[in-house]
Amino acid sequence: MNHLLNLLKSCFQSLRLLKVSLLILGVQTDAAAPVGDAFVYKVIGGRQLSLYITKPDDWRAGDSRPAIVFFHGGGWVKGKLGQFTQHSQHFADLGLVCVQVEYRLVNRKELAETPEKCVYDARSAMRWLRFRASELGIDPNRIASAGGSAGGHLAAHLGMIEGMDDPADNLAISAKSNAMLLFNPVFDNGPNGYGYKEIGARYREFSPFHNVSLDDPPAIVFLGDQDPLIPEQTAHEFKAKLDAVGVKCQVIIFPGMEHGFFNYSRHGGKPCRQTIQASEQFLVDLGWLN
């Protein structure tokens, strides 16, 4: 009898670990393909990295529009580039230029590898866009970074941390975002946070949670209270830190929601629509949308 109970307990634990692993990897069954015009923003090791730009129907060369740069989730090891296709199409319809970024992923077989190259690529993409802002019809002073989970980490890193730049980048061009839209971001990489096993003593180079300063851009954070990776308290502490230095931060907690709840494929798309509507209001409050 004890053997059977132990076996059932082991199976339950295995299923739980599998569920958490799927959440970490941001699994989606119906993620759309990226939309927009594709541009190669970086070539490294013989590989071309692209970003996809979605423009409003009334876009004209010489415009100076706000932009949102989206980074997909997936624990830095995988993910679907089209995770924010619906968001990109929606905000382009409202007049913004939207960008979805391809970045290099950490090799799953080398779990000790830090997500350094992911950060490198995010910063390179932002510099590429800002350098070409006028030809892309983008206001270089109104570029928001956005992302989910590990992509939320990259979005927060752009806004809050200086350094960890690709040596090939032109550092005279700023990689700093002007606002942050963070969907259950793994932005605490410290000893009690996500990714510390891989990052270790270097966590202060990676962790936005540990790099709050008064020049950080305003942020909105979306989190489910049943997220097994990010305690709700972490989001509240993040807001408190930003509040303390006078930086606007809004945290919206979704009762009963798990990691990745904001994806278009989850819960009939209702949380996705709710996060989009809240993001709209956030951008209205910044004066980026009417």
Q: Taking residues 87-115, what's their average pLDDT?
A: 89
Q: What angle do the packed helices 85-93 and 270-286 form, to 10 degrees?
A: 40
Domains and CATH numbers, the chain: 2-286 (3.40.50.1820)
Reported confidence tier of residue 113, pLDDT bands at 50, 70, 90? confident
Q: Taking residues 139-149, what's their average pLDDT?
A: 98
Buried/exposed 63-98: b ≥16 CB within 10 Å, e otherwise: bebbbbbbbbbbbbbbbbbbbbbbbbebbbebbbbb
The mean of the pLDDT values for the chain is 89
pLDDT at 21 > cutoff 60: no
**Can you tell me the distance from the alpha carbon of 64 to that of 142, in angstroms, rounded to the nearest whole number?**
9
Give per-residue pLDDT as tens, 147-183.
999 999 999 999 999 989 999 999 999 999 999 999 9
Reported confidence tier of residue 35, pLDDT bands at 50, 70, 90? confident
Cβ(225)–Cβ(271) below 8 Å? no
Reported confidence tier of residue 5, pLDDT bands at 50, 70, 90? very low
pLDDT at 28 > cutoff 60: no
**pTM metric for this prediction:** 0.88
pLDDT at 39 > cutoff 70: yes
pLDDT at 263 > cutoff 50: yes
pLDDT at 2 > cutoff 60: no
Q: Taking residues 97-103, what's their average pLDDT?
A: 98
- For the ranges 30-44, 67-81, 133-147, 224-238, the lowest mean pLDDT is seen at 30-44
- For the ranges 63-72, 106-115, 213-222, 225-234, the lowest mean pLDDT is seen at 106-115
**Interacting residues of 127 by C-beta distance below 8 A, sequence separation 6+:** 169, 170, 173, 174, 175
pLDDT at 214 > cutoff 80: yes
Which pLDDT score, from 0 to 100, does residue 111 have?
Answer: 54
